[in-house]
Chain A
Amino acid sequence: MENVKEKKILIVDDEPEIRMMIEKFLRKEGFFRVYTAGNCASALSICRKDKPDIAILDIMLPDGDGFSLLSSIRQFSNMPILYLSACGEDEDRLLGLGLGADDYIVKPFLPRELLLRLIAILRRVYSFPLAENKTVFQLGDQTIDLDSAIVRNIQEEVHLTAKEHAILVKLFENQGRIVTSDALCQAVWGDDSYGYENTLMVHIRRVREKIEPDPSNPTHLLTVRGLGYKLLVKEKT
């Protein structure tokens, strides 16, 4: 298995101290192929020559901005891009993400956060096996396969309807956290879904009949009174 730490990382920032800090931090975390550039021109030449696997770009650079740099890079490379910028406005964020950046972090940042997001992108793009990315999970004795919308236990296989599937996907994405009934309705019936609360309750009951050993005493799909629902996934050990 190829190691994430072997990936080549390019840091582009006009502040030498920031470059130094990120480089030091990445090296300490085990990355050893780190390149730095202080402007667009040198960044582009490094991109052509060394073909980094991911670039961390600042937006304000002495000879241009990070958005046009991204466009230039995109002409010859599809490598993932992470913006690290002092411009925290929504427009900048949306512009960056709209241009095809993989993430956008606003300065000031915690190095730990940068590292986590960087690794997440690398794993996603270079498809390292990810524990949290699986859509098949265990609930007690049942195996729930969200890819094929099937609940399996020892004796039988039960299919989930489209709505039940949508509910479970939303809850699974936020497992362990309360999902409000409004958010669930929106996930299932789309915008302007007010008035579906009772229908949602009916669907939740059907889901419980399929995944809970005792549907009237749920242990996995819990009701949080007045707020919504919560899915508890306990990793089987």
Chain B
Amino acid sequence: MEGIARILRRFVATTIIISFLLLIFNFILLATLIFKEINQKPSPEGMVKELAESLFMLEESYQADAHSYNLLQDTQAWAMLIDDDGDVQWDYHLPNEIPLSYNIVDVAKLSRYYLMDYPVFIWEHQDGLVVLGYPKDSYGKYQLNFLSDWLRSLPLRLLWLLLLNIAVALFISIIIGTRLIRGIRPLVAGVHSLAKDEAVELNTEGILGDLAQSINKGSTILQDKTIALKARDEARSNWIAGISHDIRTPLSMVLGYSSELEENSDLPQEQRAQAAIIRRQGEKLRSLISDLNLVSLLEYEMQPLNMRPLRLSALARQAVADFLNNGLGSQYDIDLKLTEEAIRINGDEKLLLRAINNLVQNCVRHNPQGCSITVETSLDNSRAQYLLIIRDNGKGISIDQLEMITELPYSFNRRRSLQQGHGLGLPMVARIARTHHGSLILNSHPVKEGLEAILEFPVQFNHKTDA
């Protein structure tokens, strides 16, 4: 799953960045927190240096300046000056147990670590060596020795340290990330299924159990709603089918007897003409209920479809030929402009023929004084949609009627009904187009006059053979 890979990638990147920031933060802490109070102020080295520089000979005895004395006093330290022969020439608060004479071994020892457990620090003086002693246990002295090779390779070693750190961070973050993803994956799949309106049943154990439970609940609600909606659609569609079924039998009798009266030569001409009117109106009712049934099946997506790749141009030609064969009045003139005839769309032949027929019929019905009708097929500019355009130069439709003409009559969006026809023709075409993932666009030209109906269908690409 692509989404999960993206999550994992981001997770790892974030982890590495966080590790880096943590490392830098630690360095800062090391400087500010750990190595901050390593010495008291002033540092022993500084103090012994200052002492050595301020110690000078005055009237046969050594004397330090007042500042050094104050410092010594504040730190409770003692001090002495050992001359070149190893004898103490000057001292300050020297503890009793400290010897007053040193050989070279003693000096070597004390210069490194302690003198009688007193941590001592030394500094060079023109007359010998200044020794500064701190109270016992106040300082720890450690000697660090490094191979010079080691020192040289230190940057490389630090680099290795860094790299190993990164590797470990990466490894751990991938492991944690994968485990997290393993927990998330079913949830992600569940949410994706929800989007596709599929039933979801997730395991509700683990840390994300709450979430899984919510997703399951959401799925149940969605499924229930879908089922309820489907049941309602089915009920409505069945209701319309039932009503139209029940109308058929009485209508049979209306048609039957009226046409019998119409043909009865014993009746006066006037009565026969009236019977003919009853018969014609009955036929209108008949076409209305069959249209109503089809529209309701299309509306609730219950019309069985027989989809296959077909050429819209061939259907357009067929529809026009049917009109001419059935005797189109001479006041009408049909012009065919078919292009890109090889293009196929996926469709139900009967429904599409019905749609084209309805559109041409529409031009004929609304322009009884005659008009010229153009049937055109072409590809749109993107070459992804195939268009069937039916245009007439008749009286057209006003703009406000155009907006609602594809709505079902008597529905909320279309309160006014049309004068001619039962008003199901264009809604049916719009629904047929929608069933084919296409659309119906209606334009009425205020200047050029006439109505233009454009049917738009997605082109069937994988079946573009034998051009």
Among the stretches B120-128, B225-233, B317-325, the one at the interface with A is B317-325
A67-75, A106-114, A141-149, A152-160: which one contacts chain B? A106-114
Select the stretch in B30-38, B246-254, B389-397, B427-435 that faces chain A.
B246-254
Q: What mask results when residues 70 to 112 of chain A are scored 1 for a CB within 8 Å of chain B, else 0?
A: 0000000000000000111011000000000000001111111
Min CB–CB distance B419 → chain A (angstroms) = 25
Within 8 Å by CB of B321, from A107, A112, A227, lies A227
Which residue of chain A has its CB nearest to the CB of B314? A182
With a cutoff of 8 Å between Cβ atoms, the chain A residues found around residue B206 in the complex are none
**Interchain nearest-CB distance for A20 vs B (Å):** 9
Please report the C-alpha to C-alpha distance between residue A112 and residue B304 in the assembled complex, in whole angstroms: 31
- For chain B, residues 318 to 376, give those with C-beta under 8 angstroms from any C-beta of chain A: 318, 320-321, 324-325, 336, 338, 341-342
Does A87 lie within 8 Å of B245, measured CB to CB?
Answer: yes
- Give complex CA distance A227, B311 in Å: 14
Select which of A108, A180, A192 is within 8 A of B248 by beta carbon. A108
A9–chain B nearest beta-carbon distance, Å: 16
Selected from B259, B311, B324, B466, the residue in CB contact (under 8 A) with A110 is B259
Q: Which residue of B lies closest to A90 (CB)?
A: B304
In the assembly, what is the distance between CA of A179 and CA of B317, in Å?
10
The interface residues of chain B lying within 8 Å CB-to-CB of A28 are: 260
**B257 CB-CB contact with A under 8 Å:** yes
Distance in Å from the Cβ of A13 to the closest Cβ of chain B? 9
Q: Digitize B252-268: 1 where CB-to-A-CB distance is under 8 Å, 0 elsewhere.
A: 11111101100100000
Interface string of A198-237 (1 = CB under 8 A from B): 0000000000000000000000000010111000000000
| Assembled-state Cα–Cα distance A90/B467 (Å) | 34
Q: A39 an interface residue at 8 Å Cβ cutoff?
A: no
Q: Which among A107, A109, A112 has the greatest number of chain B C-beta atoms within 10 A?
A: A107
Question: Min CB distance, B77 to chain A, in Å?
Answer: 109
Of B252, B293, B467, the most chain A CB neighbours within 10 A belong to B252
A227 adjacent to B320 (CB under 8 Å):
yes
Question: Please, which residue of chain A has its CB at the minimum distance from the CB of B297?
Answer: A89
Give A88 to B290 CA distance when docked, in angstroms.
Answer: 8
Q: Assess whether B86 is interfacial by the CB under 8 Å rule.
A: no
Q: Known A108-B282, A180-B317, A228-B317; judge A86-B245 contact (CB<8 A).
A: yes
Does A21 contact B257, Cβ atoms closer than 8 Å? yes
Contact of B311 among A15, A91, A108, A182 (CB under 8 A): A182
A88-B290, A110-B259, A192-B465 as given contacts; A180 in contact with B321, CB under 8 Å:
yes
Tell me the smallest distance from the CB of B239 to a CB of chain A, in Å.
Answer: 15
Shortest CB-to-CB span from A76 to chain B, Å, is 30
Q: Are A111 and B321 in contact (CB under 8 A)?
A: no
**Does A25 reach chain B (CB closer than 8 Å)?**
yes
B interface, size bucket: 35 or more
**A41 at the A/B interface (Cβ < 8 Å)?**
no
Could you say which interface size class chain A belongs to? 20 to 34
- How distant is the Cα of A109 from the Cα of B254 in the complex, in angstroms? 10
B251 touches A107 (CB 8 A): yes
Q: Which chain A residues (1-43) contact chain B, with CB distance < 8 Å?
A: 15, 17-18, 21-22, 25, 28
Given A25-B260, A227-B317, A227-B336, check contact A17 B255 (CB 8 Å).
no
B317 touches A177 (CB 8 A): no
Q: Which residue of chain B has the shortest Cβ distance to A24 in the bound complex?
A: B260
> Cα distance A109–B255 when bound, in Å?
7
Known contacts being A86-B245, A90-B304, A177-B325, is A109 close to B252, with CB within 8 Å?
yes
B286 CB within 8 Å of chain A: yes
Q: Which of B270-328 contact A (CB under 8 A)?
A: 279, 282-283, 285-286, 290, 293, 304, 311, 313-314, 317-318, 320-321, 324-325
Q: Are A91 and B255 neighbours in the complex by a CB distance under 8 Å?
A: no
Decide if A126 is an interface residue (CB 8 Å cutoff): no
With A and B bound together, what is the CA distance between A202 and B257 in angstroms? Answer: 53
Q: How far is the CB of B278 from chain A (nearest CB, A)?
A: 12
Q: A22, A107, A111, A177: which contacts B259 (Cβ < 8 A)?
A: A111
A112, B249: Cβ atoms closer than 8 Å? no
- How near does chain B come to A37, taking the closest CB pair, in angstroms? 17
The answer for the CA separation of A88 and B283 in the assembled complex, in Å, is: 15
Chain A residues with CB under 8 Å of B282's CB are 108
Query: Which residues of chain B have C-beta atoms less than 8 A from A178's C-beta?
Result: 321, 324-325
> Which residues of chain A from 150 to 193 have any CB-CB distance to chain B below 8 Å in the complex?
177-183, 192
A195 within 8 A of B: yes
Give complex CA distance A22, B251 in Å: 14
State the Cβ distance, B302 to closest chain A Cβ, in Å. Answer: 10
Interface status of A194 (Cβ within 8 A of chain B): yes
B255 near A108 with CB under 8 A, answer: yes
With A17-B253, A111-B259, A227-B336 as contacts: A192 and B321 at CB distance below 8 Å:
no
Nearest residue (CB) in B for A22 is: B256
- In the complex, the chain B residue whose C-beta lies closest to that of A197 is B341
Q: How far is the CB of B451 from chain A (nearest CB, A)?
A: 22
State the CA gap A122–B317 with chains docked (Å).
35
A28–B342 Cα distance when bound, in Å, is 54
A179 to chain B, nearest CB (A): 7
Residue of A nearest to B319 (CB): A180
**16 pairs from A and B in contact (CB 8 Å cutoff):** A22-B256, A28-B260, A88-B248, A107-B252, A108-B251, A110-B279, A111-B255, A111-B259, A111-B260, A180-B321, A182-B314, A192-B465, A192-B466, A194-B341, A226-B336, A227-B320
A contact residues vs B (CB 8 Å cutoff): 15, 17-18, 21-22, 25, 28, 86-88, 90-91, 106-112, 177-183, 192, 194-195, 224, 226-228
Closest 8 CB pairs of A and B: A182-B314, A86-B248, A108-B251, A107-B248, A108-B252, A178-B321, A177-B325, A226-B336
Extra contacts, 4 of them, besides A110-B279, A182-B313, A224-B324 (Cβ < 8 A), are A22-B256, A109-B252, A109-B256, A194-B314
